[in-house]
Amino acid sequence: MHGIFFTGFGVANNMRNMTEQTAAIKQAANATATTRTELRDLRDQVERLAMLNQALWELLSERFHLTEEELERKAQEVDLRDGKADGKMTAHPLRCPQCGRVSNSRHKKCLYCGMLFEGSVFG
Ligand SMILES: [Zn+2]
């Protein structure tokens, strides 16, 4: 009697576990599909931005006779504004030593008083 009861309980428990696992698998599959779509959209956006960047560079370099070396120097300067030469522009708050207000490290100078941040790294 006890055996049948526990066996029946065990089967019901297993079925509930399987239903939960199936739901979890479906949820994971949906999340994967969403991530794939987002990744494709991001890739499309990056490719469009890269194309626009190239078009802008060609326009500017032709109009102002700029060289690749000048572009590279400027890119290094912008890269270093966040204190790290990592090919990225990570923004962080920057307190201006002149006026004490907080600007963003992406900017070349203080938004409030105009002091140049160039080459200086402070938090
Ligand atoms: Zn300032």
pTM recorded for the entire structure: 0.60
Q: What is the pLDDT of residues 26-36, one digit of tens each?
A: 999 999 999 99
d(CA 83, CA 89): 9
- What is the distance in A from the centroid of ligand 1 to the CA of 109? 8
Which DSSP string corresponds to 3-42?
A: HHHHHHHHHHHHHHHHHHHHHHHHHHHHHHHHHHHHHHHH
- What is the distance in A from the centroid of ligand 1 to the CA of 78? 19
- What is the distance in A from the centroid of ligand 1 to the CA of 119? 15
Q: What is the pLDDT of residues 31-84, one digit of tens each?
A: 999 999 999 999 999 999 999 999 999 999 999 999 999 999 999 988 888 788
- Confirm if 123 and 92 have CB atoms less than 8 A apart: yes
d(CA 98, CA 55): 38
Domain boundaries, the chain: 2-104
d(CA 120, CA 123): 10
Bigger pLDDT: 63 vs 88 = 63
Residues with C-beta atoms within 5 A of ion ligand 1: 96, 98-99, 110, 112-113, 115
Q: Average pLDDT of 88-110?
A: 87
Instruction: Please state, as a whole number, how many other Cβ atoms lie within 10 Å of the Cβ of residue 103.
Output: 19
Q: Average pLDDT of 92-100?
A: 89
In angstroms, how far is CA 73 from the centroid of its own chain? 24
Q: How confident is the model at residue 7 (pLDDT cuts 50, 70, 90)?
A: confident
d(CA 106, CA 112): 14
- What is the distance in A from the centroid of ligand 1 to the CA of 72? 28
